[in-house]
Amino acid sequence: MTDRQVRVIEQKLAFDGYFKIIRYRLRHSLFEGGEGPELSREVFERGHAVAVLPYDPVRDEVVLIEQFRPGAFGVESDPWLIETIAGIVEPGEGLADVAKREAKEESGLELMALQPIFRYFASPGGSTETVDLFFAIVDSREAGGYFGLAEEGEDIKVHVVASERAEAWLNEGRIKVATTIIALQWLMANRDRLRGT
């Protein structure tokens, strides 16, 4: 094998439900040369997501949402998590379109400006999911309330939070979702520039 190659021995659909699981048998090249041992791994096909952090630079407030998360149930004493707005990319849908659609569905907000931050893997050890993280300018004065699509089982509470309070939530460990942690850390690093101070 040459450097950075993967040889797939077998690929099977192990589960096909709300999500998919693909089982691979494969070998990959080693940094020191040659081929490693055969690996058998299941990979979670979650789809790709877009997340957006709405921010009002005039009022210095962020808009976050809170909802029940099945993945946190049984792990956390409180499986209602505080997050950024986010959604799965549907086939043929643009990333900015997903951000705008999800902002409307999950918070009622219209995004006045949308800026990509970066793309990252959510959990590359066992999932193909990537997250395209965005920042958006909004007017937070009318934000708040309850949102979500009933047909998707969504029950979402919108929080309008002063940036300093959001930073305190982050430092206290109240924010437990990686996307939200990354987005808020990015905001704290860029807040003065965004406010023109």
| Active-site hit among 32, 151, 152, 172 | 152
For 153, other C-beta atoms within 10 Å of its C-beta total 10
Structure token digits, residue 68: 């029940």
Asked if 95 and 89 count as a contact pair (C-beta separation under 8 A), the reply is: yes
Q: Is 164 annotated as catalytic?
A: no
Q: How many CB atoms lie within 10 A of CB 2?
A: 6
CB contact at 8 A, 34 and 63: no
Strands laid side by side in the 6-16 sheet: 6-16, 20-28, 39-45
Torsion 96-101-107-112 (CA) sign: positive
Catalytic machinery residues:
152
